[in-house]
Structures are given as C-alpha cells and as structure tokens.
Structure 1
Amino acid sequence: MAPEPPAFVLLAAHPLRWALLTALAGTDLRVRELVARVGEPQNLVSYHLRLLRDGGLVSATRSTFDGRDSYYHLDLDRCAAALGDTGAALHPSLRRDTPPPPARGITVLFICTGNSARSPIAEALLRQRTGGQVTATSAGTRPKPALHPDTVRVLGDEFGIDVAGQRPRSLDAVAERRFDHVITLCDKAREACPEFSHHPLRRHWSIPEPASGHAEFRRTAQEIDTRVRHLLPDLVAAQDKEVQP
C-alpha cells in the first residue's frame, strides 16, 4: 500500500488553496481582498481558509482598524518546515536550507501609526540582517514624541542594536522620497497611508501594537524578525524582475 502523502501536500495541492497561499505569501489580506484576488465566492474562500487554519499554515488576527474584519497571515516558517519534511519524505537529500541572497541598493519604508515600536523595530532589523546594504527607513502617520522605552530595550538586549538616539519621524517628512517597497505594520496605518507617486511595491503586515513590557515587545520583535527574514528573497526577486530586459 502506498504511503499517505504529507499533510502539506494534501493541503497545498488543491488549486484554490494554493492560490490563497500564494496571495498571502507577501502580504496580510482580508477575506474580501482574497475573494477579489482568487475570483471565487466568499463562502468557498472562507471554507478553504478554515482548512488552511486548521492545518496550521494560516492564522487570523482581528483588525485594529475595524474590529469586524480579520487579517489572514501565512506562517512562512511553518511552510518552510513542511516543505522540508515533504522533500525528506520523498528522499533525504531533498531536505536543505538555502540562505537568502544578498540584497543591495534597495529602499524600504516601514510605516506604523506612532513610529515608536513596530516600524522602528522593522527598520533596525532589516538594516542589521542586510548589513546596511538595504536602505531601511521608518515613519508614522501620527508619530509619538519618542521611541517606546521597551523598543530601545528589546533591540539592545535581544539583537544588540542601539537606537537610543533615534526619534520618531512623520510620514510627511519622507513622502517625497522614492522607495522601492512600502510596508505597513498596523491596520490603522494601512488605511491612512497615502498613495506614492512613484508606485512602490506595497504590502501589509498586520501586527498588533505591543503592550508595555519586555516580554510583549520581545514577542513582537521576534515576529517582525521572522517576517524580515522571509522578506529578503522577495526584495531580491523584485529587484531582479525590474532589471530584466
């Protein structure tokens, strides 16, 4: 009797579920946005999203802008592990880890509301992970007077990054600069973020604002770091696509 295919294969092989996974690979989306992307009825999309959630590949968080909405997020670390297990199930030599390619000369803007926690954390982590080869900037739609003390603490304690001298900046201060990528990290900022005249690639990370306390900020920083790690190959792929004749 043939062995049962790995769970990831059974989940991802369905055409609609694969389309949903693909749509969520780079950005968090609401159900109605997924319906528009895959061109299927909402009840069918919701059914397959539930299967993906039950399988642990997709999670949902309540929107902080509109509590009636939820944003769906693809767990790329879990997908990577599942793909590795799938390859190993076929042949041991097919399980391997590939480091992300280097990214150079790319500009990224991270946006949240206050520019005191999520977006400066993302800015610092992307700069660190690329050795400064990516120009990372952050801004807020309603910037606060100073970085949250736990932002400074967690970046210093957990990642060895000193941002004590950094101050929140307004989105208006960078609105005329050219960015290759613009990433919003909170739902309110996504709704308030204007269009940019140079049409950067846009994506959204629905990450709740961390409550005070080192543990909460540490969890938020770890989630952002995971997303930054998976962002790097996307940045390079987008850059390579732009330079192709």
Structure 2
Amino acid sequence: MSPTGRGGLPPFVRLAAHPLRWRLLTELAASDRRVRELAARTGEPQNLVSYHLRLLRDGGLVRSARSSLDGRDTYYRLDLDRCADGLRDTGAALHPALHPAAPAGPAPGRIEVLFVCTGNSARSPLAEALLDHHSAGRVAATSAGTRPQDELHPDAVRALREGFGIDVSGRRPRGLDALADRRFDVVVTLCDKAREICPSFPGQRRTIHWSVRDPAAPGTPEGGDGAFHRAAADIDTRVRHLLPVLAATGPTATGPSEDPR
C-alpha cells in the first residue's frame, strides 16, 4: 500500500473512511465472516456488502479464502499487518512525528531554529528552552522578540522550573535586530503579531507559525501562573512534534525559504 493515493489522500483513509467499509473492517477485526453474515450484521444488501468487500480486498486490507467445509462458500478475514502499515503511513502522511520510527531529531549542530514572539519574555523563551531540553543539544535553539521586554516574565521562569526542571532565570530577552546577520534553518513565530512582521533570514528553509495566546494578556483563561503552565504544556507538545520535522528539514541551504502561510 503506497503512502498516498489519488489527490494525495492515503489509501487507508480512502478505503476505511467509508461508513460501511469501516463497519466491515470492525466486524472482521472480531472474527472471519461470510458475506451473508456481514450483510446480516450490517443490515445492508448482500450485493452492496460484496461490492465494498471487493474494494477492501483490492486495497489489500481484506483477504478471502474458500471454506474447508463447503468449497462454494468464502470466508473474509482482516489483514491486520496491512492495516497496521496503512495506519502508520497515514500518520506519517499527516505529520512526520506520527510515524512510529520518527527520528528523535537532527544531528548535532546541523539545525538552527529561531523562535519569535513580541516581547521575548514568555512564549519564545519557553519554546527555546524546551527545544534545548528535548533535543539534548542536537539543535541550536534561539529566541527573540519584535519588541523585547526588559526581563523574562517570572511566571514563565516558574513554569519551566516547576514543570520541566529547567532554569532560565539567568536569561534576558533579546530583539530581532541583534540577530540580523545570523543564519537560521527554521523560524517559528508564536505570536500572531510577530508573524506579520518577522523578517526572513539568510539560509532560511522553513517558516512555521504557532498561534499561542500570550499567557500574560489580560483576560487569559486560568490567569496568573496557571496560564503560563498551560502555555508551557502547549508549547512542549508542539516542540516534541517539531523534532522529526527538523530531522527532515536538513542543514542550512542557500535556496528560498519555504513559507506555508
């Protein structure tokens, strides 16, 4: 089963997404069955069930074999290995981190990642610290702000220390101007405002945007340090799933950056 089918849709999705075919798959996951049994269990006409069984068989998800008792009868069975392959390929087609064999991250020193928000006091420092933490030095992470604050927000510092055992108390916000001559492979904006004004950098291959609400903004749900813990957890999930993307991005290139906006 190839990773993608017509129009880029993974074959497993194309086959299994149909309501009747999904019902047939679930029935066959429990037991091998004959057509008339499947028709009775689904409440659908036998000719319609046979049609969809043929599609599933042609797609490799279902097999058939003659009954050893009555050679005129046929039993259908689910090919669990092919289903597992299809689910794996479907996950990988959606996001590389969903592949069971997804690499943990790129080789040391190969990937330069910049995280950008407005003040560089909470969201982007959180992302920088968490990528450093999860990549174990395999990625060079940096953060900056379009309008940097004077210091990191104390609740952001606390969220990293309490939630992940990471100490960033000695760090200070920096502005994008200080990085004008730096090369970055991947630039990630975490602020909707920053996304609109963030410049491109030499060698940039990929631009990503994470729309993360400012935990310090008035009216933020949960308020106070609860909002910072929530933001840190959200960013942590995104960072962990970013690692396989970075592994696939490769080292700095001189071509135009990819911007999926």
TM-score range, shorter chain: 0.5 to 0.7
Tell me the SS of whatever aligns to 1:120.
helix
Distance, in Å, in 1 between the alignment partners of 2:126 and 2:165 is 12
Matches within 5 A, 1:66-77: none
Q: CA deviation at 1:173?
A: 0.5
Matches within 5 A, 1:36-51: none
| Structure 2 segments unaligned to the other structure (5+ residues) | 11-77, 89-99, 217-222, 254-261
Change (3 A) 1:14 1:99: closer
Identity %: 55
Change (3 A) 1:223 1:176: same
Distance, in Å, in 1 between the alignment partners of 2:79 and 2:158 is 45
Give the equivalent residue in structure 1 for 2:186: 181
Q: CA deviation at 1:175?
A: 1.6
Give the equivalent residue in structure 1 for 2:80: 91
Q: CA deviation at 1:118?
A: 0.4
Change (3 A) 1:167 1:204: same
Structure 1 position 223 matched with structure 2 position 234:
yes
Q: Which of these residues, 129, 133, 148, is aligned with residue 134 of structure 2?
A: 129
Distance, in Å, in 1 between the alignment partners of 2:185 and 2:215 is 27
Q: CA deviation at 1:103?
A: 1.6
Aligned residue pair count:
162
Structure 1 position 167 matched with structure 2 position 172:
yes
TM-score by length of 2: 0.56
Give the equivalent residue in structure 2 for 1:204: 209
| Structure 1 segments unaligned to the other structure (5+ residues) | 1-11, 19-88
Greater CA radius of gyration, 1 or 2?
A: 2
Tell me the SS of whatever aligns to 2:250.
helix
Distance, in Å, in 1 between the alignment partners of 2:158 and 2:191 is 21
TM-score by length of 1: 0.59
Structure 1 position 109 matched with structure 2 position 110:
no
- Deviation track 1:117-167 (CA, whole Å, cap 9, x = no partner) reads 000000000000010120000000000011001110000000000000100
Matches within 5 A, 1:46-57: none
Tell me the SS of whatever aligns to 1:136.
strand
| AA partner of residue 158 (structure 2) | R
Q: CA deviation at 1:238?
A: 1.1
Runs of 4+ that moved beyond 4 A: 12-18
| AA partner of residue 221 (structure 1) | A
Give the equivalent residue in structure 1 for 2:157: 152
Q: CA deviation at 1:192?
A: 1.4
Distance, in Å, in 1 between the alignment partners of 2:122 and 2:79 is 43
Q: CA deviation at 1:227?
A: 0.7
- Deviation track 1:90-112 (CA, whole Å, cap 9, x = no partner) reads 62793784453332221100000
| AA partner of residue 103 (structure 1) | P
Structure 1 position 100 matched with structure 2 position 128:
no
Structure 1 position 238 matched with structure 2 position 237:
no
Distance, in Å, in 1 between the alignment partners of 2:200 and 2:233 is 29
